[in-house]
Amino acid sequence: MSALKDRYTKEVEVEEVLLDASNIPEFNRARLEGKRELPLTRKNVRTLWILFSLISIAFLYQIITLQVIGGEKYRLIAENNRVDEALIIAERGVVYDRRGEMMVWNEVDTTGEYDFPIRAYTDRSGLGQVLGYVSYPKRDKRGYFFRTDYLGRSGVELAFDDILKGENGSKIIEVDALSEVISEYAIDSPDEGGAITLSIDSELSEAMYDIISTSSIKAGFRSGAAAIMNIHTGEILALTSFPSFDPEVMADGDDVELIQQYNLDDRLPFLNKVIGGAYTPGSIVKPFVAYAALEEGVIDPNRVISSNGQIVIPNPYSPSNPSIFRDWRSHGKMTMREGIAFSSNVYFYLIGGGLPKNAVPQAGINSTFTGLGITKMAKNYRRFGLGSLTGVNIAQEQAGVVPDPEWKRDVFDDDWRLGDTYFTAIGQFGFLTTPIQMLRAYAALANGGYLLEPHVVAGQQSEKIDIEIDVVKMQVVHEGMRMTVNFPGGTARPLERQDVAIAAKSGTAEVGVGNAYVNSWAAGFWPYEEPEYSFILMMDHAPRSNALGATRIMGDVVEWMSINRPEYLGIETESEL
């Protein structure tokens, strides 16, 4: 072996160099014939051994680091990459109407956009402002929730958010190396939100909406609103505002074009006009002026006042330019009951503002006549809740305006005049009120003098605030309102019926530049003998030439009720006979 080693490492024979030199052309170079390998030196072997040792040491170090030193740490990381904790969004509570019909509920999102329940809303029209809508929980770009709850944005969804929202839960999700879910395990079950039963009759509200909508198109009204309330409990039986919106469209937020149409609509479909719309009331304030005049002893209810169509107040500074306050027609002679029934402006000018000495004689008054005056009149309006919030919570309210000298000084920096009192007595000038205020005021007028907070929760009893009215004097007002419906010349004759006795008051308020438009009102209560419900219906901004008034529209609502909800009118059905 030693000789062989010496031979290949120390010396090379000459014949080996010239090996097969005579047959060079026959060498098969592809098979390495005629080639010799160079021997490996000790240095080369040592270098390879050192390199191999270093690589082995590096691998051994990494194994010890991963498995021994950082084993627990990396095990937890591996587990967390395989298992994750996720949020379970709780179902929101269901909303029912007073008859048990579902108005708002939850559904599975079939589009796959949401992995939590989505809100579904009734298809009945005219309930958008009542029910409101929600915004959904939201994820960031990495898929984590940054908003973990539904947010009530308006209506019932906002007002009763604390009841409707549930308590979220959590779950463990196991995924494979491709992040595909293998299994899910709930570790904290969610608690669904509480259900609410509203006092609202959804079908009646829809019927009112459809009647108002059709009438608006027919007569050129811009918008309208209506509500009915139990005068003893404060429960709102029906409420609608035209035009309305689709709550599902707002909750989903996908139909950008339709949402834009809602936002640009000058009829304000998002505004709950019953609660948040402030309008000039016109003659529906006259029953309150009549009661105050009786209570203050301004006039005997049987005293006769005559209207020839106007009151003329001389102008001492310009005798040829007197102030003329017109009635809407010449009514002739009338007592208080007839003054209410005919809605005579002259009658209420006089009991509200009186007749100064320089204007006598007029209207059958031959001496100075002292009316209520603005201070007592404004106080009485506020007594019935006008100019203040009612407390209803399903929409943002407006307080409105009851005009008085302080208000005029603040707004116009001007003194109060007799004509201002006259106009305030017939619900004009700067007077602004919401339909919900008038609904509550008429309820107090009908229930013996108790102000209630309107609400939409079935079975809830509102606290009663006694405003201490004289029921005997108020009976005169009731009789005048009944005559408004059933007496020749009464302004609410479309509400006369054989099956239910209604007491009502109409109102027409002039609005717009040059009084080119009118708001039409109908207000009252039923049954006349033992009142249960007050109502309000307001039609907004129609041309003066319009002949379709709010009392006719409310008459259509009552007709629908007589067929579909006779129990609300106190009409006995065949099954009860």
The structural domains of the chain, ordered by start, are 1-64 (no CATH), 84-197 (3.90.1310.10), 202-576 (3.40.710.10)
Type of residue numbered 85: E
Residue 53, pLDDT score: 83
Q: What does pTM read for this prediction?
A: 0.84
**Residue 31 pLDDT more than 70?**
no
Residue 547, pLDDT score: 75
Residue 33, pLDDT score: 57
Residue 569, φ and ψ in degrees, nearest 5: -95, 0
Q: How confident is the model at residue 56 (pLDDT cuts 50, 70, 90)?
A: confident
Question: Cα–chain-centroid distance for residue 19?
Answer: 108
Specify the residue for token string 């609904």: 439
**Residue 4 pLDDT more than 70?**
no
Residue 338, pLDDT score: 98
Q: How confident is the model at residue 514 (pLDDT cuts 50, 70, 90)?
A: confident
Provide the mean pLDDT of the chain. 89
- Decide if 222 contacts 541 (C-beta within 8 A): yes
**Residue 184 pLDDT more than 70?**
no
Q: Per the structure block, which two tokens stand in for 127? A: 């309930």
Specify the residue for token string 């779950």: 171
**Residue 29 pLDDT more than 70?**
no
Q: How confident is the model at residue 272 (pLDDT cuts 50, 70, 90)?
A: very high
Query: pLDDT tens, 83-96?
Result: 666 788 999 999 99
Percent of the chain predicted with pLDDT > 70? 87
Specify the residue for token string 């001389």: 314
- Least confident segment among 163-177, 417-431, 439-453, 476-490: 163-177
Question: Cα–chain-centroid distance for residue 80?
Answer: 45
Q: How confident is the model at residue 50 (pLDDT cuts 50, 70, 90)?
A: confident
Q: Assign residue 372 a region: left if phi > 0, alpha if psi is -120 to 50, beta otherwise?
A: alpha
356 preceded by cis ω (within 30°)? no
Q: Computed over its alpha carbons, how large is the radius of gyration of the chain?
A: 43
Q: How confident is the model at residue 175 (pLDDT cuts 50, 70, 90)?
A: low
Q: Per the structure block, which two tokens stand in for 177? A: 């190396």
Query: pLDDT tens, 520-573?
Result: 999 999 999 999 999 999 999 888 777 789 999 999 999 999 999 999 999 876
Residue 298, pLDDT score: 97
Residue 58, pLDDT score: 80
Query: pLDDT tens, 287-331?
Result: 999 999 999 999 999 999 999 999 999 988 888 899 999 999 999
Helix (H, G, I), strand (E, B) or coil at 307: strand
Q: How confident is the model at residue 516 (pLDDT cuts 50, 70, 90)?
A: confident
Percent of the chain predicted with pLDDT > 90? 72
- Decide if 544 contacts 456 (C-beta within 8 A): no
Helix (H, G, I), strand (E, B) or coil at 476: helix
Specify the residue for token string 């009893």: 461
Residue 65, pLDDT score: 74
DSSP state for residue 566 in the 8-state scheme: G
Distance CA 443, CA 535 (A): 8
Residue 383, pLDDT score: 98
Residue 179, pLDDT score: 59
Query: pLDDT tens, 484-504?
Result: 999 999 999 999 999 999 999
- Decide if 180 contacts 537 (C-beta within 8 A): no
Residue 111, pLDDT score: 87
**Taking the C-alpha atoms of 327, 331, 337 and 342 in order, what is their torsion angle to the nearest 10 degrees?**
-60
- Least confident segment among 42-46, 66-70, 272-276, 405-409: 66-70
